[in-house]
Amino acid sequence: METKNETVDPLKGMTKEQRAELLARLQTEVKNDRMAKRESYEALRGQFMHDVLGRVENLESEVSGFKKWLDDEVTAFTKLMREYGAVKNESQQSYTITDGDFKLEVKFNKVKGFDERADLAAERLVDYLKRYMEASEKGVEDPMYQMAMTLLERNKTGDLDYKSISKLYELEDRFDEEYAEIMRLFKEANVVQATATNYYFSKRNPENGVWSRIEPSFCRL
């Protein structure tokens, strides 16, 4: 007559102390396994970030070198082009060069900003808007107050945004002469801080003649 095999519980014959010792050993093994995984992860993370940093720094160095080389070459070529065309007026600096299926656009843009008088104007405007808000029935909910305060916000570098301040000029008819006086101070503080040179590269598909931008930008890929 066949008998069924009964499953033997290995813990059944163990004393309370033996079970506690076994539990402690198992918990230690789990803890050690978790620590091993953590150390492995952190080591791999460190290697990964080290590799990324190395490549990023090499890329940044290469791109910076290319930008400096292109600036020098464009400056020399622009001078040659003006001498060839006998052009004496240097106010028009932007141009496009096309050679075969490759096109280079060179654009010079004036970067506008403000001098120290803008900080004085901003301080006066904030005080003016606070008084305007207090006299308004809507208080801080007044849309004109909210709009003006938003346009006074500074960028990451702590500078006033030229385009935003320019929009404040459009509100002159909504306020009084004091506001207009503050706007005149902003306008007097308006200066050209620098000239930015931007380059745009394009390649033409010889099959359909369509130009496509070559974007040497990580974010554009």
Instruction: For 50-92, write each residue's pLDDT tens digit.
Output: 999 999 999 999 999 999 999 999 989 988 998 888 777 766 6
Output the pLDDT for position 3: 53
How far is residue 17's CA from residue 36's CA, in Å, rounded to a whole number? 28
In a domain, 131, yes or no: yes
57 in the same domain as 144: no
The answer to whether residues 70 and 102 belong to one domain is no
The reply to whether 22 and 129 lie within a common domain is: no
Q: Is residue 4 part of a domain?
A: no
Maximum average pLDDT range among 8-12, 73-77, 87-91, 161-165: 73-77
pTM of the predicted protein model: 0.56
Domain boundary among 33, 64, 89: 89
Strand order in the sheet with 102-114: 95-99, 102-114, 190-204, 211-214
Domain match, 218 and 120 both: yes
The answer as to whether 9 is a domain residue is no
User: Do residues 21 and 73 share a domain?
Assistant: yes
The reply to whether 106 and 175 lie within a common domain is yes
pLDDT computed for residue 5 by the predictor: 56
* Better-predicted residue by pLDDT, 214 or 87: 214
Q: What residue numbers bound the domain in which 180 lies?
A: 93-221
Residues 126, 196, single domain; the answer is: yes
Same domain as 193, residue 130:
yes
> How many separate domains does the chain show?
2
Residues 125 and 76 in one domain: no
44 plus 71 within the same structural domain: yes
Distance CA 74, CA 93 (A): 11
Q: What are the distances in angstroms from CA 89 to CA 83, 86, 107, 194, 221?
A: 11, 9, 16, 19, 38
Residue 174 domain flag:
yes
- Pair (82, 150) in one structural domain: no
Percentages (nearest 5) of helix, strand, coil residues in the chain: 60, 20, 25
12 vs 161 pLDDT, higher one? 161
Per-residue pLDDT tens for 97-155? 999 999 999 998 887 778 889 899 999 999 998 998 888 888 888 888 888 888 888 87
7 lies in a domain? no
Shared-domain flag, residues 169 and 142: yes
